[in-house]
Amino acid sequence: MAQSNVGINSEYGDWSWSADAGERARLLQSPCVEVGPRRAEEQGPAATSILGAIFIVVNAALGAGLLNFPAAFSMAGGLAAGIAVQMCMLIFITGGLVILAYCSQASNESTYQEVVWAVCGKVTGILCEVAIAVYTFGTCIAFLIIIGDQQDKIIAALMMESSGAESSPWYADRKFTISITAFLLILPLSVPKEIGFQKYASCLSVIGTWYVTAVIVVKYIWPDPDVIPAEISTSPSSWMSVFNAMPTICFGFQCHVSSVPVFNSMKQPELKPWGVVVTVSMVIALFVYTGTGVCGFLTFGSGVEQDVLLSYPSNDIPVAIARAFIIVCVLTSYPILHFCGRAVLEGLWLRYKGETVEEDVVRERRRRLLQTVTWFLLTLLLALFIPDIGRVISLIGGLAACFIFVFPGLCLIHTKLSEIQEARPASWWALVSYGIFMVTLGAFIFGQTTTHAVFVDLAK
């Protein structure tokens, strides 16, 4: 395909921009809204500086996934194996972010799924949107599990009981606490059509993430005398065990879906400043994740829990504050992830029906409530019966690999193949080969992690 202004829905006709699309079009634009070439006056001022873009990308990369990094290092066979896998993958993770910006320029599209639609075509675009919906659904399940994990410890500390007590009051039951928190706090935040009120949550999320990392590092330097680490592995039991860390690494560093809008919002949406943004951002995320993984693993050894905060005593005050931070971060993050998934499902439905953005307010509200309640109840039900976040991350980590490797690789291949050149230089072949390698690597990680999750983790 030629590198021209291509709209993802051009084959369905031009649909004009509607203000009724609201926040959906700005955060994770549904394919049902404006698709024509973007004029300068429609784009608005691109006011994000390099420093601001770094903050946004770091915030997108850092999250609740860091709680699983110590366990991932343990499953990989120790620090050497875990760090080596992380460093190798980080090269391609950073490369994927640059590729997406390059393809965004070539296709003149401003969101992840729009780029995939424009560059790779209808089938790949639909697969991408389905993957985003499934990924956000799984992440919402993980968030609810995390809430339950932290509440168990906080309630145990407040009741001055050990977490291993044989009996507890009905109101301290995990299923009850997760359900009441979800119904009273998460569901009301998930219903609104727009989520502009969530814009300050990112600052709190970053502060909470850094605090958790600081607590884990300090607790390793000055350990609790009652905490005795289990065996600390120094080498993997088999060469296949190093791949056990991949789902967590992919889940942790996955910020690619939100990176395309960030790139297009910059004052200078060019590859050189964007390269600076992603490099600095990934280095910061690397320090946070590595610090958490190394110190958490060395503190507890192979006995570390899937959620590292569960390994600490219930009555540890600094850790209790970290748990409260995590709960607040997850409470504000669930509605945002749900909003993204709902926007994609809405776009798929409207395209299937051949309709534009809903004009009838009553019909739109009815469908939004149905989507929200169904999504909420399904994630809550699954979270009540899945024992830990490790099993969820092992599944959705494979999808994260698709966003990091497979779709960017396919976009690079299609973009280079669309170029009309009489003679193709070595750089052209090198980029196509790199795209093929990205797709192959991503497909391998997705297949390996998903197979392991289905036949090993879910079979436990």
Query: CA angle, 340 as apex, 337 and 344 as ends, to 5°?
Result: 145
Contact between 328 and 204 (Cβ < 8 Å): yes
Q: Is the pLDDT of residue 2 over 60?
A: no
Distance CA 394, CA 245 (A): 9
- Tell me if 142 sits within 8 A of 393, measured CB to CB: yes
Per-residue pLDDT reduced to its tens digit, 424-453: 888 999 999 999 999 999 999 999 888 888
> How much is the pTM?
0.82
Q: How many residues does the chain have?
A: 460
Distance CA 213, CA 295 (A): 9
Task: Measure the CA–CA gap between 327 and 305, rounded to whole angstroms.
Answer: 18
Radius of gyration of the chain measured on its C-alpha atoms: 22
The CA distance from 332 to 202, in Å, is 9
How far apart CA 244 and CA 5 sit, in angstroms, is 42
Indicate the residue type of 90: L
What integer pLDDT is reported at residue 126 of this predicted model?
92
C-alpha to C-alpha distance for 253 and 231, rounded to whole angstroms? 28
Q: How confident is the model at residue 211 (pLDDT cuts 50, 70, 90)?
A: very high
Check pLDDT > 60 for residue 369.
yes
Written as six digits, the tokens of 354 are: 């051949």
34 exposure class (CB count in 10 Å sphere: 0-12, 13-18, 19+): middle
Q: What is the mean pLDDT of residues 137-147?
A: 93
Mean per-residue pLDDT of the chain: 82
Q: How large a percentage of the chain has pLDDT more than 70? A: 83
Q: For residue 167, what pLDDT band results from cuts at 50, 70 and 90?
A: low
6-36: pLDDT as tens digits? 333 333 333 333 333 333 333 333 333 333 3
pLDDT of residue 284: 93
Indicate if the pLDDT at residue 130 is higher than 90.
yes
- How far apart (Å, rounded) are the C-alpha atoms in residues 291 and 297? 10
Which of residues 369 and 198 earns the better pLDDT score? Answer: 369
Q: Exposure string (b/e) for 50-61, b if CB count within 10 Å is 16 or more?
A: eeebbbbbbbbb
